[in-house]
Chains A and B, each alone.
Chain A
Amino acid sequence: MPASSESITLTGDLHARPAGALAVAAGRFAAKVSVTAGSKTVDAKSVLGVMGLGATSGQQVTVSADGPDAGEAVAALIAILSEATRVGG
């Protein structure tokens, strides 16, 4: 199974709506996808888990995936993190 991982520095806090967008997008992939911020790693498909990360602006966040569409999943989630945290909400 291919694995993929990429990090990004948040330009805004990971509030409810970007957390929702992230979990909705993650749920569309077959791969297992996780998000790590600081010492916490959560299932990216769990919106409550992503919200519970408490990830803030300036923090480095890593998206990791393992499964047939891991590369696409990581690319999609990094794109959401770079866009959505800019707006906040």
Chain B
Amino acid sequence: MSDEAPRVGIVLVSHSVRLAEGAADLAGQVSGGTVRVLAAGGTEDGELGTSAEKVARAVAGAEAGAGVLVLPDLGSAVLTVRAMLADMPGARVVLADAPFVEGAVAATVTAAAGADLKAVATAAEEAWHARKL
């Protein structure tokens, strides 16, 4: 795996601007900063909620040529992401069912190692089984 190969991008969709940005910051730092991790938090005017336009912009920004993994914070963000994906046919985007912080960190670290989109999605979803204690 060449270091120049494009990495899978990560989009963190949260109802909160600050939660999405904080998780993106954490995942970016833990993985060494080589992966595009974009936050899509809050509504267009920065209130609590989700925005399909924000998610679409983040997906476009995270795409480096290897696809994009989208992680929602809560189930209700899934509706927004699904609506957005329906408007982007052909986009190489996978929606992951994973715990938000752990999934973001696991996915970003796996992407930084050069893994493909499927492996990055699997890393995020395996985060359900990671114990802290």
Contacts and interface: CB of A to CB of B under 8 A. Distances in A.
A21 B102 CA distance: 16
Contact of A24 (B109, B126, B127): B109
Interface stretch (A2-10, A12-20, A60-68): A12-20
Contact of A27 (B29, B102, B105, B110): B110
A27 B109 contact: yes
Nearest to B127: A48
A38 interface: no
Main SS of the interface on chain A? helix
Contacts of B126: 46, 48
Interface stretch (B10-18, B59-67, B79-87, B112-120): B112-120
Contacts of B31: 20, 24, 47
Interface residues of A, number: 18
Given A20-B31, A52-B132, A27 B106 contact: no
A28 B113 contact: yes
Contact of A46 (B1, B106, B112): B106
Nearest to A26: B113
A21 B132 CA distance: 19
A49 interface: yes
B109 A47 contact: yes
A56 B29 CA distance: 21
Contacts of B113: 23-28, 45
Contact of A20 (B30, B102, B130, B131): B30
B32 interface: yes
A46 B128 CA distance: 13
B117 to A, nearest CB: 14
A47 B30 contact: yes
Contacts of A45: 110, 113
- Which 10 pairs across A and B sit closest by C-beta, in order of nearness? A27-B113, A20-B30, A48-B130, A47-B109, A24-B112, A23-B109, A24-B113, A16-B30, A20-B109, A20-B31
Interface of A: 16-17, 19-21, 23-28, 45-49, 51-52
